[in-house]
Every structure is written in C-alpha cells, then in structure tokens.
Amino acid sequence: MKLEEEEEGSSGGIPQSLLDKIYDSTGSVSGGNRGFLLLYVNKDGCPTMSSKTENPCVQMALSKLIEMATTSKEDDFSL
C-alpha cells in the first residue's frame, strides 16, 4: 500500500477552498503555529495525505503526533 501525497493546487481529492478553511481554523492569528496534516482515502480508494503548515516546526510536531498515535495503544494515547 502506498500513501499518496496530494500536490498543492491539485484538482483531485478535497477542494482547495476547504483545505484553506481548515488551515485558517488552526493555530493562532499572531503566532507561528498554524497547520494541519490530513490523512484520508481518496476517490480512487488510495490512502492520501494533504498538509499545509506555517513552518517546519509545526510540520515536525504534527508528524510526531501521528507517530505517537500509530505506535501507542489506543488507551495509552492522550493529548
């Protein structure tokens, strides 16, 4: 199974306007902490990832969160 990464501005998958709304709903307006990492199954049935982050630190934090979620037991995971 291969994870496809959605290209920014691509025509397939989730509409860019919705991804922009998700991004605008994250972090704080004054801080440098905006971003999201979205995993979903696209219309072709392939696992897909779409992300947009304000800086590399946010990307790293989200990646670490995914790692923690996938390596820990369900009942051990908490934010």
Instruction: Tell me, yes or no, if the pTM score tops 0.75.
Output: no
**What are the residues facing 35 on neighbouring strands?**
53
Q: Which letter does DSSP use for residue 41 in this model?
A: E
Q: What range defines the domain where residue 53 resides? A: 4-73
The secondary structure of 19-31 as a DSSP string is HHHHHHTSS-SSS
Q: How confident is the model at residue 79, as a pLDDT?
A: 62
User: pLDDT digit string (tens) for 45-70?
Assistant: 999 999 999 999 999 999 999 999 88
Does 65 reside within a domain?
yes
Check pLDDT > 70 for residue 39: yes
Q: How confident is the model at residue 69, as a pLDDT?
A: 87
Does 79 reside within a domain?
no
Does 64 reside within a domain?
yes
Does 60 reside within a domain?
yes
Amino acid at 12: G
Does 26 reside within a domain?
yes
Domains in the chain, number: 1
